Amino acid sequence: MRPLLAPLTLVLAAASLPGTASAAGTTSLTIGSATMSGSTLTVTGASTYADQPFVLQGDDPVGDTVNGLPGTFGQDLTGAGIASNTNGTISFRWTASELPPVLNGSPQLTYGWTFCAGPVEEDPEDPQACWELTASRMNWFIPNPEPWLQVWSCASTCDGSGLTNITGPLVFDGATKTVTATLSRDALSADPGDVISPLLGFSFNDGALWTGMAGWYLAGQDFINYEDTYTVPGKRVSLAIAEPGQDPATVTYGTDATVAQSGSYTGSLDVSTLAPGSYTVYSRACYGANNCAYATSGVTI
């Protein structure tokens, strides 16, 4: 676990900061054409993508701080989530029963998260990258209510020696009682299809998520040991052909289309085993879990 005190100087160039989540609204999809050529049906269309809603990574009861104190200073964690954004960033969110008060000086309450990002299957040529995030709204050494975020590289251990220059926006939201750090996906070596998994055993009570307080003393306050993994999404369009009138959300999609940077897509379906007749082409665009759109188009074979 990192020291819970911020460095005396934390000066960051604005140009190095990734932007906040960019794509409001919803993911959308259209089918432009469905053209037969022999036994191949070629489908083209357009897709747009919205930022992914947060995916729950762990939850925790209210009022279970280690010392039994109420969560007045923001130390009582209640959950956490991860979401990917279409501008190439990933957001990490802590939820607490209360957020720290905006006060100068002590106590400083720090939020921590340890995790690894890498392929689902171990790949010697693409090893996991492991990290620890530490975030706070107060600096004990220099009274200042401005938030700060640190990203630590954890090679074989999170021993406090791997502070990086990776940074990004950090938002304390009193309405939702959340703390959200947004970081470049590339900086974390998290490619589409990779998984983000909890890194246990290196922080307070071995939790992957934790809070700690400094100022009066250095001590862990709450923790969450979660086991869920998060899959980093990419922009994906999948195709299917089936009987008309089916629910697009329940159709089995077996063919992926090629999606261009602009969102236009092209894909082919083999219809050689289908009897002549009327069918429906089903198209699905997704950017992560619970973030899909559907389109259909009739076709005669």
pLDDT reported for residue 110: 86
Decide if 183 contacts 90 (C-beta within 8 A). yes
**Number of other CB atoms surrounding residue 10 within 10 Å:** 14
Cα–Cα distance for residue pair 160/154, rounded to 1 Å: 9
pLDDT reported for residue 159: 66
pLDDT reported for residue 23: 47
pLDDT reported for residue 207: 61
pTM: 0.83
Task: Report, as ranges of residue numbers, the positions in the chain whose pLDDT lies below 70.
Answer: 1-25, 103-107, 138-145, 156-157, 159-160, 201-207, 213-220
Residues in contact with 71: Cβ distance below 8 Å, sequence separation at least 6, in sequence order: 62, 63, 65, 96, 97, 98, 222
List, for residues 229-271, the tens digit of each pLDDT value: 999 999 999 999 999 999 999 999 999 999 999 999 999 999 9
pLDDT reported for residue 220: 65
Cα–Cα distance for residue pair 244/280, rounded to 1 Å: 5
DSSP character for 120? S
Kindly report the CATH number that applies to the domain delimited by 27-50+234-300: 2.60.40.10
Q: Where are the alpha helices (DSSP H) in the chain?
A: none
Residues in contact with 16: Cβ distance below 8 Å, sequence separation at least 6, in sequence order: 165, 167
Q: How far is CA 42 from CA 21, 36, 52, in A?
A: 34, 6, 29
Which tokens hold the place of 79? 């959950």
pLDDT reported for residue 248: 94
Residue type, 171: V
